[in-house]
Structure 1
Amino acid sequence: MSNLTDMEIFARVVSAGSMSAAGREMSLSPAVVSKRIRRLEEKLGTRLLQRTTRQIAMTEAGQGFYERVVAILASVEEAESFVSRGSAKARGNLKVAVPTSFGRLHIAPHLGKFLAENTDLSVNLDLSDDFVDIVGDGYDLAIRIAELSDSSLVARRLAPVHRVLCASPTYLEKYGTPQSIEDLVANHVTIAATNQDPWRLAGPDGIETVRTQAPVKTNSNEVVRECLLSGVGVALRSTWDVGPELREGKLQILLPEYRASKDVGLYAVYPSRQFLPAKVRVFIDFLAGLYGSSPYWDHGLEDWLRLPSNARAG
């Protein structure tokens, strides 16, 4: 078992890119990680890694060894997964980074059910709208609402994210309903958080760029939401955020032929390694089962969102 642990440490170092980053993943000091790598090299009688003050690089022997170690660890993980699935248990503490509003609305209310199903697991839920360094900050995974680009991380899409233009009846009674993008820009108050301005909207004539203009400037999406509900102006909001208000008539969708231009989705993002811990896997599976391709927050809005008929649910 000690040899297997040393091999896992070696694989983590290669995957993370440094001994300090691998140490953070496994809650080990860089000195301990370095000692275990040296012990493995002494046992094998060859150098696996070339070290510098800033980075590591595999030797030719290290590259061949790494490829075989990953295959071994994947087999071990598969065996452990089989047992874990059979006992329906995951153990340890799960550290998750989640956007503030989404975490409050769509993760926190479901934690009771998740923990009841996984009694040997605890969750450290970190709500933040900052773009966290998953590996560097020691997270097991992050939930992101984004158009993901290529990275060293892997991701699983959990649900689509629809963004619509909307306003309150109070606002519309005072200012009228915009009939076109040109009308919206020329005659209406438009609100956005500073990091979401301008809007890029996809419509019948292609991409339209709208620079928002409102008497309120803020970096908070929650402030934008409250201003929207109180009748300050028009906003571009995700249906996961304002679905109930749309269904109840507290908000109305405007110019439904226009949507956010980016293919934004809800993703679980985690370090790119082949031996995924069971605690991460069960949490991702739980969220995927909870949301899915037709998430509950879109129910009742299918006609507006133009979802295919086989995606509609009650």
Structure 2
Amino acid sequence: MDWDKLRIFHAVADAGSLTHAGETLHLSQSAVSRQIRALEESLNTILFHRHARGLILTEQGELLFDATRSMTKRLDAASARIRDSEEEVFGELRVTTTIGFGSLWLAPRLSKLYDEYPELNIDLMLDERVLDLPMREADVAIRMKEPSQADLVRKKLMSVRMQLFANPDYLEKRGTPEDVEDLRNHRLICQNTKSEQVSAGATLVRELLSYDLPNLLTVNNYFGCLQAVHHGLGIGVLPDYVSIDDTRLVRVLPEVESNEVPVFLAYPEELRHSKRISAFRDFVVSEINLQRKKAQAL
């Protein structure tokens, strides 16, 4: 099968338009159309339904698009490995992690990584959904559980617990609860138990809600919960790592916390020797070690 025709087919399927695909490929619309017709003839099938608003893949087209998408991702991976210099770190690195960890822990530290590797470009994808690393939806992931996908290099980074925190001004105004029953006199800020989150966090919230707390603010990520706590809206369920760097937080009810949540870094086996991956991994490990030392000094 002619790879050039497949490349053009993939661009058309991705764009949904002969014109837009031609602009991407720097080909005329008629040239793109001829290549698609030739591919359809060689396969003896119709790959697109044509209508006034654009192109829609047929069932056979969907099958071929799945194959070309996988091939493209594999080629991207190979290209990235080839471009990786033995001495330099540069190019794009697609990092995926949860909204909470990415916005509260990772993003504030990235300036240090850029200072060391100014030619590195980070594409930070914050999503509770677990992206498929072997299929190259991302290059490296930091997740709140051990990844189950095959062909991955895994490294445990640390453990996290969800705990209760409040703004000191809020506690001065509303008082500090002495036991869980006292939370009825406060607003609890937490993730909705139906939102995507680690099970340990959801379990802790369910336990707290069993006390029939009358006032509640739910947010679908920890970044929003933290902002609400900072603005004195109540007492929040937050990951423990936020309190090490944030002096505006006071821990409430120290005996109340979730089970331990393991944090793993993972990347595809084929990127084991990538200089970009190594630089990012070493940076994250170094930052975690610095945070541990800071926590021990508190």
Look up the equivalent residue of 1:200 and give its one-letter code. Answer: T
- Separation of aligned partners in 2, 1:115 and 1:170: 36
TM-score by length of 2: 0.59
Unaligned runs of 5+ in 2: 1-66
- Provide the residue aligned with 1:160 in structure 2: 159
Structure 2 vs 1, CA of residues 169 and 155 (structure 1 numbering), >3 Å: closer, same or farther? Answer: same
Q: In structure 2, the residue corresponding to 1:281 is in which secondary structure?
A: helix
Contact 2:187 2:217 in 1 (8 A): no
Pairwise CA distance, 1:174:
4.7
Look up the equivalent residue of 1:295 and give its one-letter code. Answer: Q
- Provide the residue aligned with 2:95 in structure 1: 96
- Separation of aligned partners in 2, 1:290 and 1:277: 20
Contact 1:154 1:269 in 2 (8 A): yes
Q: Does residue 188 in structure 1 map to residue 191 in structure 2?
A: no
Look up the equivalent residue of 1:243 and give its one-letter code. Answer: I
Q: In structure 2, the residue corresponding to 1:192 is in which secondary structure?
A: strand
- Separation of aligned partners in 1, 2:173 and 2:278: 50
Superposed CA offset, 1:50-92 (max 9, x none): xxxxxxxxxxxxxxxxxxxxxxxxxxx9xxx9x93xx3x2343
Pairwise CA distance, 1:281:
1.9
- Provide the residue aligned with 2:244 in structure 1: 243
Q: Does residue 148 in structure 1 map to residue 149 in structure 2?
A: no
- Provide the residue aligned with 1:277 in structure 2: 274
- Separation of aligned partners in 1, 2:268 and 2:177: 45
Look up the equivalent residue of 2:288 and give its one-letter code. Answer: Y
Q: In structure 2, the residue corresponding to 1:27 is in which secondary structure?
A: helix
RMSD (Å) for aligned C-alpha atoms: 3.8
Q: Which runs of structure 2 are paired with 1:285-304 in the superposition (5 Å)?
A: 285-292=282-289, 295=291, 299=294, 302=295
Superposed CA offset, 1:11-38 (max 9, x none): xxxxxxx88535413239xxxxxxxxxx
**Alignment coverage as a number of residue pairs:** 220
Q: Find 2:250's aligned residue among 249, 252, 265.
A: 252
- Separation of aligned partners in 2, 1:187 and 1:90: 53
- Separation of aligned partners in 2, 1:102 and 1:258: 21
Q: Find 1:25's aligned residue among 48, 70, 74.
A: 74
TM-score by length of 1: 0.56
Q: In structure 2, the residue corresponding to 1:295 is in which secondary structure?
A: helix
- Provide the residue aligned with 2:264 in structure 1: 267
Contact 1:95 1:139 in 2 (8 A): yes
- Provide the residue aligned with 2:131 in structure 1: 132
- Provide the residue aligned with 2:208 in structure 1: 210
Percent identity reads 25
Contact 1:95 1:124 in 2 (8 A): yes
Structure 2 vs 1, CA of residues 291 and 213 (structure 1 numbering), >3 Å: closer, same or farther? Answer: farther
Unaligned runs of 5+ in 1: 1-17, 29-76, 202-206, 303-311
Pairwise CA distance, 1:141:
0.7
Pairwise CA distance, 1:234:
1.5
Contact 1:218 1:224 in 2 (8 A): yes
- Provide the residue aligned with 1:5 in structure 2: none
Superposed CA offset, 1:217-238 (max 9, x none): 3323222212212222221212
- Provide the residue aligned with 1:179 in structure 2: 178
